[in-house]
Amino acid sequence: MYILKLILLMVVFCTSTIIGILISKKYSNRVNLLKALRDALNIFEVKINFSFETIPEIFNEISEKIKDQAGKIFSDTVKNIKDKNMLVGEAWEKSVQANSEGLKTEDINCIKSLGKLLGKTDVEGQISQIRLVDVFLEKQISEATEDRSKNEKMYQKLGAIVGLIIVIVLI
């Protein structure tokens, strides 16, 4: 009976610690996603400026180079354009909304704002909008990095402490 109680207490402690770690991961994920989006937009800016490819072709190339959630935004945009006959801006906004897990509302709104000019203005207008979003993403990355440094270890430790408190109460 004592061994069963000990195993149960270990499970409670480990579960609580893992929950704390999972909560802390969202801060790292946000930083990584914002950096990947910034990199993807830099690729987009170069491609749109120096190549004669269409936006869907460029987005396909970006989705192959940038993996995970950021690449999925670009690949979903292409799918929305081809499968649902959407305009580029509409497809972009829909795919950003669908793949925005881990982002704050202000991140989402800024990234979606790029869609308002995609395919509707000349190359210079699109490049200026990409640069504007890039500046905003840079600010958001520094804010997300600060949040991560403040909160990541706190949630990891908090999970372990809560688990320890539960174990002590159950003893």
For the chain, what is the radius of gyration of the CA atoms? 21
Is the pLDDT assigned to residue 85 strictly greater than 90? no
User: Mind listing the pLDDT tens digit for each residue in 86-123?
Assistant: 888 888 889 998 888 888 888 888 888 888 877 777 77
Q: Would you list the DSSP string of 111-133?
A: HHHGGGTTTTS-HHHHHHHHHHH
Model pTM?
0.83
pLDDT given for residue 84 in this prediction: 79
Query: Which band of pLDDT confidence, cut at 50, 70 and 90, is reported for residue 146?
Result: very high
Going by C-alpha positions, the residue among 36, 150, 31 that lies closest to residue 102 is 31
Token pair 């499970």 in the structure block, residue: 11
Is the pLDDT assigned to residue 18 strictly greater than 90? yes
CA distances to 35, 95, 120, 139, 143 from 149, rounded to whole Å, are 16, 29, 40, 16, 10
Going by C-alpha positions, the residue among 97, 102, 101, 99 that lies closest to residue 113 is 97
90's tokens: 């509409």
Q: Check if the beta carbon of residue 74 is closer than 8 Å to that of residue 62.
A: yes
